[in-house]
Chain A
């Protein structure tokens, strides 16, 4: 008999909790928390506690599948890989490399994401590589780079505990990053002030000193209003502004027009509350801003992010513990997938593909000529597929048929492809459309690293064997590359891939498996002797001239506002009991018992006006599509606003959402669109 506990990193959100997988005679029997881990400290959320259940689900993909006459049939690995290699080669040769696009995965390891982007660039010869970060924090990467020079969370999770004031905007932290909420609540118990800015009454609002309830999509006005008060009352950190920043005059000029009265008109936040919250934030010694998709998923996503950076710099809250701008990344390894360059414009470590010197470095290392033109982003790929310009697509560990905006359009794009290969651990709404399906190992069945939201690179360890013939994504990518004739994918283990990453990626320069075994390392970690970086921008900003940059940003309205025909504002998000498209959580009994089906939150006054009762099946319609779901009548939303979680494929919120993009970051506006609600006639129900 063999019983062991294998320490690993949680596969759900970006908090980076660690736990042990309990293994009895080669079988997973449960999860145990890890008391010595710096973030999780022996605690987990409901998803982490149940993270072993989906691994052993009987629904896992166990054999390669090839679609023949519309039906999937089992195939050997050789046959499946040959088919994929042949097709991809054919498109590359006949239509050019840019006729192919790949989607990498924020669920996969750093090593696998690195290999995916290397495969796209070195084997296919295209920069058409992207992943779901486009849909969650593309605006963070762009916004924080232009303000600070680095697009990541500036500080560490544990530091939150010692902040004097925490401003949470657009993050339902207690539900989406429960173990990060732990540190907010601990700060609160120690006397810190808490300001929550959110259109919904979320779990954290019950503990907030102020809940500023803005209309969805008016965040820039909120930030400008807060800064207007701070400058007006001379509460800004003049020394910090002078010594460490540039562009203050531009900011001042812009925000002077955002008086509390005007901001109340735009956002609906009473001016007295705004003024009080501004004072509270500005007067704190260590003030920390936390945000998430509530501000990033807008056509003004970059503006929102840069505005948060403006506010932090204005009050000198950057470059010291317990302060900063803390974007919470939603996936276990979405930070890592970005760090590894699974993005159309950069290699690993955010090194630009357009920069000739950098391109030459990668060309030399990979012994191949590389394309210099940045590739397509997620939504652009779907558009080009619909137009017929993308012929083949390789999707790893993503489910765009539930996760992407305007699903009908996604379907149109994917169905219009000549060839689609999808690699996943489960059959999904997306694998259904594939020509070839490749079965992959999940986190518990392979080795690698994940990088958490606080830039912490941590080990993922193999606890059990993958089911059936499924294999680690890194092995599959290597085999496919070899099948296409590449000689640059000879790795004996993920550790060797990390060695290559370290050699080509300055921020990961000191990261090696031997160092990670005893605990994670926070990048930048440029050398083997470097201990890692708990918080960024300490003495100077990462920007080229070392200064943080203010931007004067005017408020712009969301792309689609409610009107007579579509009178509601629909906003979307997640709930604690499920994760993203439900591929994992909806196969976990306890989580399904908590919330088995989708719903739409509607304010009591709206429900009464429309004659809708609790639990009633109703129709929600936008200009993109229509779904049916049950009504949840709650004061969590205010009048005129409705909210839907997007986990549920059968009543998919993303049938409704607007694919309008932020002009720079190309992130879609999941958080605001116009919708209407209708009762379903009895005859329709029957």
Chain B
């Protein structure tokens, strides 16, 4: 697969289909995002399910692709993505952060094992170019275990998990959807500052709420958490609620507007289907 990806990206670059390739680069065994301008560099292109591409840069709080596109608006960029990366791109485009017209997507499917490792519900992109599409996980042990608990038990569970928080803001920092210039998690009006752990549950609830309808389920927040707070679990449940309440799923279609970005005059929220995370 990696050879195919290298050959194809070279073909895109040499055939002037794109001006640059944005993908993962391996150097001395370490993998990180990189912009390949020269085809010869592409021998270091790497595929990994564990590394994402579209991070929000801080302190400017702009997605790396928006920064690149603003710098060179006419550059056509080929992007080597997994399903979750593509969903992030679609949500970012929906919110005016990136211009998909200048992006050519090379979608790579994850295999069954990789999907299981990431607890991924949709391990393939819609622009599938390489690999075989496999179904994602439908059951999630962590989610089920949580739902088996009584409400007081769940409260105690989250209290314990959130009490470990060391306020690194890593969950927000790695999130492709967290690009607000005036992040409410940082503001004293919403949560008290200067303490560990940060105010329970408000500090985390701000993000849970704000990302509930744009979360694309990549699980980066959980992977970035130094104290292993099971954030993917709560976001899976929130995504489930959004789907049930609004019949909406983030990251599928750039034309489909988010229910929380539109007025809901005609369609009130259904109250009988919340899973009560």
Contacts and interface: CB of A to CB of B under 8 A. Distances in A.
Interface of A: 1-5, 7, 20, 22, 24-25, 29-36, 42-46, 48-50, 52-53, 174-175, 178-179, 181-182, 185-186, 189, 203, 206-207, 517-519, 575-577, 589-590, 593-595
A576 B167 contact: yes
Given A1-B20, A189-B228, 4 more contacts: A30-B57, A49-B168, A185-B164, A203-B196
A3 B58 contact: no
Contacts of A576: 166-167, 196
B60 A29 contact: yes
Interface string B172-199: 0110000000000010100001101100
A181 B194 contact: no
Contact of A36 (B29, B67, B167): B29
A175 B223 CA distance: 20
A50 B59 contact: yes
Interface of B: 20, 22, 25, 27-35, 37, 50-51, 55, 57-60, 64, 67-68, 71-72, 75, 163-164, 166-170, 173-174, 186, 188, 193-194, 196-197, 223-228
B168 A35 contact: no
B33 A5 contact: yes
Contacts of A519: 29
Contacts of B168: 43-46, 48-49, 178
Given A29-B60, A50-B58, A518-B28, A590 B193 contact: no
- The residue in B29, B60, B67 that gathers the most chain A C-beta atoms within 10 A of its C-beta is B67
B226 to A, nearest CB: 4
Contact of B170 (A30, A44, A577): A44
Contacts, number: 131
B55 A32 contact: yes
A186 B60 contact: no
Contacts of B22: 3
Contacts of A185: 164, 227-228
A42 B28 CA distance: 17
A36 B29 CA distance: 9
Given A2-B37, A5-B34, A46 B64 contact: no
A381 to B, nearest CB: 35
A483 to B, nearest CB: 37
B29 A42 contact: no
Contacts of B166: 45-46, 174-175, 178, 181, 203, 576
A24 B228 contact: no
A207 B163 CA distance: 9
Contacts of A49: 58, 168-170, 173
B60 A206 contact: no
12 contacts: A1-B20, A2-B35, A22-B57, A33-B224, A44-B168, A46-B167, A46-B168, A181-B166, A185-B228, A206-B163, A576-B166, A593-B186
A589 B167 contact: no
Nearest to A174: B166
A593 B191 CA distance: 12
A53 B60 CA distance: 10
B226 A30 contact: no
A44 B226 contact: yes
B67 A29 contact: yes
Nearest to A17: B226
Contacts of A30: 55, 57-60
B187 to A, nearest CB: 9
Q: What 4 A-B pairs come out closest when comparing CB atoms?
A: A5-B32, A3-B35, A30-B57, A43-B226
Given A25-B71, A35-B50, A36-B29, A45 B57 contact: no
B22 to A, nearest CB: 8
A203 B226 CA distance: 15
B3 to A, nearest CB: 22
A594 B59 contact: no
